[in-house]
Each structure stands twice: as C-alpha cells, then as structure tokens.
Structure 1
C-alpha cells in the first residue's frame, strides 16, 4: 500500500493550490469585479466566506486560516476550492492544538516520535543556562530549546507569542532534568515573500472604485452595503499597518468591529486589553533590558481602552506621551526608538449630542488620558458612531486578498512617504500648527499608500482623502479646545492653486452646531459657549428671553455629507411644501421597494400637516424599471399601494412614466422649486425592524452624500 502524504507536510513547500487539471470548472465568480480580481491577482486572493466554512471551533486568528487557504484554495475554480477546503480542514483537525486535546496530541508526538502542530509559541531567555526556551500556549509544554539562529530570524517569538507551524519530537531521558520535547522545525505563519512591483502593476488594472471595493472585500465586508465615507473609515483602520508611529483613536458604540482588524487582520499587529499593559511589557524591562511590544510589532492596539474609572499607571502615561510625540522612550540614561503605531479603541456609553453638550468626544477615556498633552499626540480620531453595528449580511462571499499577502504589502510600504503628494494642488491653512500638520500628513500619506500605491491620483481624488485627513485631525483638536481653553482656535482647511479657501468641518459639527462649538475650561465639567459653568434654571430663562423669531425660508444650495444624521423630509422638504395643493415630483428612480417607501414617507409628512378638509394633488413623473417584466410588475404594485394609502388622507397621486427624464426636482404651488441631486433616495440602507428607531424616524438614519437647491419661483403661499 502506498503511504498517504499528510497535507500539513506540504506547507513548507508553499503550494499555490491543489493541482488537479482534470477537475471540472466550477461556476463563474459572482461578479465582474470578482472575475477581475482572480484574473489579475490569481493565487493571492481567496473567497472570504471560506474562513467561516473551515474554522469550526478552532480559536485561531483569521490570518492563520487564510494563510492555509492561500496555500490550498486561492482559486476561482470550484473543484479546487472544495479540495482545498478539505485539505485545510484536515490540517486543522489533525494539527491544530485545542487545549482540551493537548494530552492526545502529546501522545501522538510520543508514539510517532515526530509530529506537526499549529500553536501559538512564545520564547523566553533562560539566563541561568544561557538558552532560549519555547512555551506552546495550547499544547501546554515548556522549556523546549530553541536555537539562537531561530530567534535571530524571528525575534517576535520573544514577545507575546507568534502562531507557528512546528515539528516537535519526543525523546525520553532517564535524567529528570532533561525535557523530552525537541523542536524539529518552526515556521511562523506569514508570507515568505511577494512581488511588490507586480502588486503596483496590477493596481493599475483597477479603477479607484474597484480597488477600494477589493480592499473592503479583503477586510471581509460586502462593499455594496457601505457608502464611500464608510469605506474610507474602514481603510483608515489600516493606516497603522502602513504608516510608522501613527497614533489612532476610535471611540464608538459596541459591536462595530473596532478591534477586529487589529486582532484578526495581520500577523504584524498585537491587540491587548487596555488594563493589561505595563511599562516593561510595552516599552522595556529594566531588570533584563528586554524590549517590549513596541520594539517588535508594527501595531500595538489597546482594546477596551475607554472607562472613566479605570486605574492607570501615571508612569505609563508619561512614557507613552513621550513615545507618541518623539518615537522614542527612555530607559534610565539610554534612549531607545521604535516604529510601532499606537491604536486606542473603546466603547462610548452616550450618544454624540450628549457628549458634546455635557463634556467632549473623549469623555469616556480614563482620567489620566483625558489630558490635552496626551490627546494632542493623536493623529486621527475615527468617529466610531458612524460605523454600523456588524450584522451577518454585511460579510461578503466575494474575493479579497489573502490577509497575509496584503499585510506584507502594507508592511513593505512603511518606509515610503506620500505626505507631500497633495502639495502640487493644495496648501494647508497657515495657522495649522506643526503637530496638526503632522497628523494630517500621516493620515493623508497612509490613505495614499493604501488606495493609490502607484502614486497616480487626480486632483479630485487627492482632495477627497486630504479632506478626510484634515477632518480626522480636526476632530482631535476641536475636542482639545473644549478641554483646554488656553489653546488657540485653528482654521482647518486648505487653499487650491487659485487661492480659493476650502474650509473643512467634521460631520458632527454640521449635525449639532449648537453643541459642537461650546468651549470649556481646562478643568473640564460641563462646557458652555462662554467657557464657564452653567445653571440649568438660569440658562433656560436666558434661552426664553433670546428665543429667535422664525427666519424666512432658506434660498440657495446646501450639501449634506455621507453618514450625516438628523435629516428628514419634514425638515428638508415640508417647510417648502406647506399649504401647497399641487405638487409635481420628477424622480426617475421610484422603482424598488425602498424607493416606493421613500415616496410613501413623503406622503405621510404631507398628510400629517395638511388640513383634513383640503385635497392635495401629487403628480409623480418617473421611469419604468428596466430589469424585466417581473420588476416592472413589482414597481406597479408598489405605486398602486402608495396611491391607495394616500387617498385616505385626501392626497391624490397620479403617475406618469417617462424614459427620458434624468434630473430630479419637486415643484409646488407654494412658490418653491426644490432640485434634489439624488431625488427622494437620500437614505442609506437600514434594518427594517420594528424595534429599530431608524425604521420609524428618518432623523435617526444615515444619509448618502447629496445636495439640494431651493429656488423661489413666486411668493405664493410663502410666509
């Protein structure tokens, strides 16, 4: 009988996949982008839903699984994929060490003499015997001798542990002091090499939208469910991997995936609990001179960092401040440098307007970190409240980079500096400080390297990420101004080559201007517009005294940012439609269910405010669904249901189909014309759940980016 080869034995050879020329060709990739990804990056991509298919109950990071899938299932051929999945499952079943099966694995090693395992390995120096000794986390064996050459090749083994594929041998000795376990071979699970020039060449095959979608799929999400701004927020999470000494903070609600990337995405990142870190663990151990995490990892992320009552080590805060500012830390008389980026993620317990009204957006941080000197060292603040809670439908089944491949790409670009790529087109404001400028530059450079690694971007594309970089730093600085009144205001923005000034605002600034621009003293407490403390009774009385008179309706153009909340038809459209009895809506895209629902919600707004005795005529001009007879039939059903529902309130809806229309507008005999860039379809996807507030109230939904122009055509009905 021929001996069957264990699939795990082939890992050292790094096969590209299962070689089966006779395997039948499977179904084509699900989308044109997936086909393109496989054509251009064949062998470096994997179908992202496979991780869940093979993981089972193995408590192992995604990058370990994708490393294995990259060896066996990096293909779009269905037979190859299925064969690869079975190989990976067999490797995990036979060689991944579950803690509760450790004794069985040890028995296998003893009986076979040599056995391959997948486990997390940490090495320590035994100063007494002058030897390096390994400890296997799940297998539970210690004091296995490791050669100095192995440590030199893989120094991260000395810090916090690295996932490895190892051959372990067993040789019993009569000497009780001799450990029977012998390390035959050890290989950290990470890519050995890749072709960076080929990566750059392949990038040119994709449009910017396609490339961003490829990156979002590589993270594991379906790009169809994310707007442009939401995608950029996800990509900012990658900047610490591509940019040295980048200091990032993200605070927001639970369940938005803040820590996922730092624990699962790359073998070059380390996620630790905020309460578990010490000066020796993070920076240097004075007793033995051993470097801490910042000396070995590209990214050190602090999970569960928020919590006002958390106890903190003041010495740690002080040394962290110095490191974040100067990329160095002191050990006695010696100053050491490191390149690790620092990431701080934590949960908020209040919504944004509450924090802006009563404190600031750093309100949840421990007291020692709620300090202007520390906060000023942060380069960017990701608004975690804009990120949707992770739901099962958000994960993609399309193709993305094997995470280990993209992790190596990002690591290789840490030496590059793209921070000046905007200067041919734009100039930052003159009163932006050096520290603010550094934060903007590092975020801009990181996004450029992630999205435009070939350095080829148009002026509009450069402006998009420059604005995003400025906003990320502005969010930090504006909150510092609320904490420390001694700091000077800064005008955040930039000028183009023609000298036109373009101011940058944060999204929450646009949503809650009354709360956002309050200033506070350095001692904290509730902030006010004049920097002092408030008395609720007095402030309420003052508010009554200065209550403004109703202003005339705004005339002109307004833009709304993606992810903005607080927008509703009631505020956006109703003031201009009040008392109108004849309304004409032109919108070519009232075709799908959610678009018909938008129309129904506008009808509801009109119904709530009209006199029950009045009748209102609504004339809709739209276009037929072009996806086939069944879709047209559905469209007709939706519109008929809206028409019948409207009749109950005395609103008569008539519909005309016109295939030539493009522009979107509402014209009413109230004397106003409203030009809507996106028509009524301004809201992002939201769960149609009875218990979701967004399903009931539009103001709690996030919007797509859109513009609206109000034009007064007559004074009829305006007052």
Structure 2
C-alpha cells in the first residue's frame, strides 16, 4: 500500500506540471512599467526559463537577467536568456559536479564560479578564510577590506561571482586554491528620487499590481485583500524591528518571499537556531544573525518542539526593546523577525478548542512573548499556489526593489493616519505600536512618498488594526486575567464617527470567536467584539479571500436528521433520475468523525468529481468547528500518463477538502476489489458500483446534472446495502 505523497514523488509529477514556455502578451501596465523603470524591471516568467537545474535564489537569477534581459524587446530578451543560460552552464557550480569544476580550475589555472560564499575568522593565523558551499573548498584567504564591505559573508553567507585560481605547493599546509576576485550578486545602487517620481505616474491599483508582479505573483488571481496579505510579507524588509507571524496551510507560499525575494533577508529552520547564532556568541563576542540581516525568518516554526527557554527569554527582550544582553554587555540590532508555520486544523476548530496560536510550541505561547508580535497574517486565507498564480508580467528586479526597501527602513510613517483618524483610548501603547508599524510598512510599500488620500489610508489602517487584534484576542484566550480591562479596536474619523474593526474569522464564526468572553464578561464588550458588534459600523475591507467562496448548507442537508436509520438495501435501475449522495449516503454518514471509503476506481475526472461532491457534502453537513478524517483506499492507474493525471487530481481534491476541515488521506492498494464505506459510529455501506453510479456527464457546460446529482442518469443497475456493525477497526484496509 502506498500513500499519495510517495506516489507523487516517485513519478515527479510536480515537474511535469510546469507551465508552457510561450511568451505572454504584454499588457498596458507592462508597457507603463517599462516606460518608467527601463533597465530596473524584468519579465517574471524568465526566471523559470533560465533556472534549469541551478539551485539558486530567484534574486540571483534576476540579477543576471537584469544585466542581460531587462527589456521589453523580444529579440533582446531571447538573446539575454541565452546569455544567462550560458553563464549558468559555464560558471554555476552544481554540488554533485564540484570535482569536475575543481579539475577545470586546475587545468585552466583560473576560472570564474557562481557560488554561495561564507567567511570565518581563523583566530590561530589571524586571517579571514572563505568557504564555497557547492564547490566544497575552504581555507581561501580573503582580504579584510572585502569582508568589511560585505559583513554578511560572516553570517549566513552571500551568493557571489568569484574568480578562483589554482597553485599547487609541496607544502601540505598551503591551500592550493586562491581567491582572485569576489563580487557579491547585488545592485550597486538605486536612484530613490527617480523611484519616487515614477511612482506618481501610477494609480494605487496599478502600483500594487506592480509590486505583486515584482514578487512573482499574478495580481489577476488575487482580490484587494489577498494583495494586502501578500504585501504584508514584505514589511519586515522595509520596517525596522517588525515582528510578524504567519500560520496557515501548506503550499501557500509563506516562505517563498523570505527565501527567494531579497539578499537582505535570511530564512532558517526554527529548530536550527541558538542564542549564539541568532544574537551573540559569548565565547567569541561575535554578533549573530540579527546584527547583519534586515529580516530573519524562522521556517516551520510551528513544528519546532525542541525549545531553548534561554532563547525564548532573550528573544522576548529583543522583540520588545530591540536589544539583548549577553554576559555584561547590551547589544542593539534592527533586524525584523518573521515566524512562519503550518496549521493542521481549520480556523473554527482552533477557535472552539484553543486559539489561533495553537500550533506554536508551548514555550512561545507565553502571553508576554506573544504580546511582542505586531501582526498576525491569516495564512488560511491564502490559496494554495497554482501555476496560473505566478506572474508572467513585468516587475522590479527583486534586488533593485530590495535596495529600495532597505533605503526606506530609516523612514517612519506610523503616525501618518493621525491626519484623518484617531484610535480608541482603550488601545494600549503596545497595541498602538503594532498597528502603527504595520501601517507604516504598508505606507512605505504602497505610498512610498508618504502621501495618500483618506480612503487609501483607511484601508491600510483597518488591515493593520485587524492583524494586531488577531494577536490580542488570541492572548485573551490564553490568559483570561487580561480580559479585565476591555479593549475596543476601533477608530474615529474627522466627522467623529466611530468604526469598529473585526477580524474576518470573527465575522464568520461569531459564536466560536466569543465563546469564552460572553460568559466571563456578562455580555460586555471585550477587545471590541461584544454582542453589539453587529450593530456597529464595520469595515468594508474584509471580503472573502480570493482562495475561498461563499457556501451555505443546502436546506435538504440542514434539515435532514433522521430519528432512526435501519439496515436494509436499495435497488436502482439504469436510466433512473433523482439519485444523489445527499439522499443515498449522507444520512448514514452524518455524525461520523472517521470514515473509510474503499473504491478501486477513482481515476477519471468524473470519478474525482463524484468524490469531491461527497466530501463537500460532509463539509457542509458538519459543524464549522468539527473536523472529519476520511481515508480513501483506491487503486493506482497502471498507465503512466493516466497515472500522473490521477495522482494530480487526488492531490487537488485533498487540498480542497483539507481546507474545509475534511482531512483526506489517500492510500493506493492494487489488491482491493470491494466497494464500501465504513464509519466510526457503526455503519457499513456496501456499494455495488462504488461512487461511480451515473452516466458520464455530457459536453454541454450548462447541463444541470453537472451541479445537481438529481438530474443525472444512473449508468447501470446497482444495489446499496446498509449494515449496522457493533465495532470496527477503521483504517485497517
């Protein structure tokens, strides 16, 4: 028996899902971008065209494309692509070919390479020495001036273009490798005034779309709220000492911005950091990552269960005060911190059973630590990345934009909203700081000159308030003593009208969101989410996310609650209409939390549609805060081409199902023959034909049967048996 993930990995279907290599049509916005930022922008789909098997960050490839293909002329672009491909083929060092490159350096005496370089101080010999990650050579002496100009070489390493020479010596202590030259891959400088001037030629909507394309995302696939969420990931690069958390499902691109976007940020595994690595090494006195990088991001932070309490304490002080003490010294730093992690439960489940920080290690669920977080990005609102969500338009060369953002870090726009709005006096200083820093970061991104209209500032302020409110409300769940002082997350405008701000999940699941507070506060407002919230003025910037849709429980499902289910069977004839899973299966599945579906034929698109229909029925019928585990046991398509399509289809169904609290696990077993459904509350449904009971859908896109099963024709006669069983071992199939 094989699980779905292993099967996908074996055939490499993800690589087969690459988009076609056709050149996209240039839009009016693309023409405008090239007109005002000639030489600083590049077509974003070119990265894929030149990457090949080079495992390098996007900013390295875009640096090269910016040198050779920063144009809207197709002939120039194609010539530039070939030049970059040739450079990578000649100079990029593949780790598994390091010995071949070493031999080439020895043969030629001097060779240029593209590799990640890290520098250490050899205290014994009082010299700095460089180490090349892929080339796997170390001990190359590097001059102090170069190290001083590029201090990040000492912490984390930097991608560089280097000339390496080879000179053999009989002295075994002498390293034969000599560093001839080193050039970090980054732009030499940017004209910030030209940047400001060109910004005035774009509307706010156009500018946001330009930023979306610059980070590689297709703006047409996102609504306004989705775009703000994506841009919030850039705030740590433009705002000093900004602390942000993003928790959400897998595959939504949470870590992409921090690993690929900027040479000024570093992404590390949450379990690989120590006090010495992050802050300062007591024995050597060397400053850690926060002293050299604009942004330090922790990947898979929620999965890290090994916690150093000393690290938590030092980090707590740094997040609050921008400083840390080790030994007798106190150090300051400006690095922003981003915490990224996956969630395994739906939002209503977390609201009912815990809080939105449920996935974090226990040591980090300390209210004092969490109170240092400025903004919580709702990762569950972000759709899983699909091929059409990647941009094919023009955007800034990411290194160029990274330098612009770095130049803006010295500015402070946190008070700009006060020209139009005033926060409620109950909002604490720490809450105001979180709101102000998020607002400042978004202003620098969207309105870099600091000038914006009242409505434009209102949208950014409400989003900033929401993100801080999400943090505060979760803290109130963890520490009930903090509810004694009500906090109203609202603001007034110049006319004196008050506007309450609610998080999207608060609006969607009001009873779950306030499950503890209503009882403890006797109906009084807590954190601006009282029972009278529905009567207050609510914000207009919380539409459903671009990844979601509005779904209500069908009346037939909501009202069907049979008082008694009986054993027996039902017979159906070919050509019959009026048959649906809602009538046939749902009454016997309602209330189950573990369900096993055994059907050897879930291969074709219409069979996958049937499975998705059943899972969506289960999702609509359950309580929002409940979760159901479903195991599908099916067989694998024997033909390679169809197998790939089958596995991708099952993966897509799993992603959609998991997102609504019906967790699908797929097991591939070529020995099964029976077709049945088993539940953990004592029912087995024997399916004569499996789930595929109808004729294949017609080609008419408006055929009612595509959306309503009752209008479909039964394919051939079949029988369904309902069997009540005393006990079963679910999942033993």
For normalisation by structure 2, the TM-score amounts to 0.70
What is the SS of the residue equivalent to 2:338?
strand
Deviation at 1:265, TM superposition (A): 0.2
Measure how far apart 1:221 and its partner are.
Answer: 1.0
1:495 matched residue in structure 2: 492
Distance change in 2, residues 1:173/1:559 (3 Å): closer
Given that residues 119 and 163 in structure 1 are in contact (C-alpha distance below 8 angstroms), is that contact kept between their aligned partners in structure 2? yes
Match of 1:136 among 132, 137, 144: 132
Q: 1:462 aligns with which of 432, 435, 457?
A: 457
Secondary structure of the corresponding residue to residue 496 of structure 2? coil
Map 1:120-519; keep pairs closer than 5 Å. 120-307=116-303, 310-487=305-482, 488-519=485-516
Instruction: Measure how far apart 1:184 and its partner are.
Output: 0.8
Q: CA 1:563/1:94 → structure 2, altered by over 3 Å: closer, same or farther?
A: same
- The 3-state SS of whatever aligns with 2:466 is helix
DSSP-derived class of the 2:169 partner:
coil
Once the 2 structures are TM-superposed, how far is the Cα of residue 486 of structure 1 from its aligned partner?
Answer: 1.4
Matched, 1:58 2:54: yes
Deviation at 1:108, TM superposition (A): 1.5
Report whether the alignment pairs 1:108 with 2:139: no
1:562 counterpart residue number: 543
CA apart distance, 1:172: 1.3
Once residues 230 and 80 of structure 2 are traced to their aligned partners in structure 1, the CA distance between those partners, rounded to angstroms, is 30
Counterpart of 2:138 in 1: which secondary structure? coil
Contact 1:253–1:347 under 8 Å retained in 2 = yes
SS in 2 for 1:423: helix
Q: Distance in 1 between matches of 2:327 and 2:538?
A: 61
Report the 3-state secondary structure (helix = DSSP H, G, I; strand = E; otherwise coil) of the residue aligned with 1:306. Answer: helix
Pairwise CA distance, 1:561: 2.7
Separation in structure 1 between the aligned mates of residue 49 and residue 365 of structure 2, nearest angstrom: 43
CA distance in 1, matches of 2:329, 2:413: 32
Task: Return 5+ residue gaps in structure 2 as ranges.
Answer: 1-21, 523-534, 559-582, 584-647, 662-733
Q: What does the per-residue CA deviation read over 1:110-166, in whole Å, with 9 as the maximum and x for residues that have no partner?
A: 121111100000000011110000110000111100101011100110011111100
Q: Distance in 2 between matches of 1:43 and 1:446?
A: 26
For 1:695 and 1:55, locate their aligned partners in 2 and report how far apart those are by CA, in whole Å: 30
Deviations along 1:607-630, one digit per CA (max 9) or x if unpaired, are x9xxxxxxxxxxxxxxxxxxxxxx
TM-score between both structures, scaled by the size of structure 1: 0.71
Deviations 1:47-96 (A, max 9, x none): 10000110011111100000000000000101100110011001100100
Offset, 1:519: 3.2
Identify the range of structure 1 (483-492 vs 290-299) with the bigger mean alpha-carbon deviation. 483-492
Q: Which SS does the other structure have where 2:459 is aligned?
A: helix
**Cα distance in 1, alignment partners of residues 475 and 150 from structure 2:** 41
| 1:230–1:563 contact (8 Å) kept in structure 2 | no
Helix, strand or coil at the partner of 2:376: strand
Instruction: Give the equivalent residue in structure 1 for 2:574.
Output: none
Size of the aligned set, in residue pairs, is 538
Q: Which has the higher contact order (CA 8 A, sep 6+)?
A: 2
Q: CA–CA distance in 2 between the matches of 1:358 and 1:695? A: 23
Q: Which residue of 1 aligns with 2:33?
A: 37
What CA distance in whole angstroms lies between the structure 1 residues aligned with 2:439 and 2:218? 25
Shift of residue 698, structure 1, vs aligned partner: 13
Counterpart in the other structure of 1:635 = none
C-alpha separation in 2, matches of 1:557 and 1:294: 39
Deviation at 1:489, TM superposition (A): 2.9
Partners in 2 of 1:557 and 1:331 — Cα distance?
Answer: 47
1:689 Cα shift?
9.7
Distance 1:388 1:516, change over 3 A: same
Structure 1 residue 518, shift from structure 2 partner: 2.8
Aligned-residue offset at 1:383:
0.1
Kept in 2, the 8 Å contact 1:248–1:380? The answer is yes
- Gap runs ≥5 in structure 1: 1-25, 521-527, 533-553, 576-607, 609-686, 701-719
Runs of 4+ in 1 over 6 A off after TM superposition: 556-560, 569-572, 687-691, 693-700
Of the three residues 78, 89, 95, the one matched with 1:82 is: 78
Residues 272 and 303 in structure 1, CA contact (< 8 A), matched pair in contact too: yes
Q: Per-residue displacement from partner, 1:16-47 (whole Å, max 9, x unpaired)?
A: xxxxxxxxxx9995210011111111100001
Aligned-pair CA distance for 1:393: 1.2
Matches of 2:458 and 2:65 in 1, distance apart?
A: 38
Distance of 1:246 and 1:558 partners within structure 2: 25
Question: How many angstroms apart in 2 are the aligned matches of 1:34 and 1:151?
Answer: 39
Q: How large is the Cα RMSD of the aligned pairs? A: 3.0
Secondary structure, in 3 states, of the residue corresponding to 1:486? helix
Give the match's secondary structure for 1:335. strand
Aligned to 1:682: none
Query: Which secondary structure state, in structure 2, belongs to the residue aligned with residue 193 of structure 1?
Result: coil
Aligned partners of 1:199, 1:329: CA distance in 2, in Å? 36
Q: For residues 545-567 of structure 1, what are the alpha-carbon distances to aligned partners after superposition, in whole Å with 9 as ceiling and x for unaligned?
A: xxxxxxxxx9x999783226684
How far, CA to CA, are the matches of 2:109 and 2:660 in structure 1?
A: 67
1:261 positional shift: 0.4
- Distance, in Å, in 1 between the alignment partners of 2:104 and 2:651 is 54
Instruction: State the secondary structure of the residue aligned to 1:355.
Output: helix
Is the contact made by 2:120 and 2:128 (CA closer than 8 Å) also made in structure 1?
yes
Provide closer, same or farther for how the CA distance between residues 693 and 55 of structure 1 changes in structure 2, counting only shifts above 3 A: closer
Give the secondary-structure state (helix, strand or coil) at the position aligned to 1:142: strand
| Residues 222 and 146 of structure 1: CA distance in aligned 2, closer, same or farther (over 3 Å) | same
Quote the Cα distance in structure 2 between the aligned partners of 1:694 and 1:101.
37
Shift of 1:169: 1.0
Asked whether the 8 Å contact 1:329–1:336 carries over to 2, the reply is yes
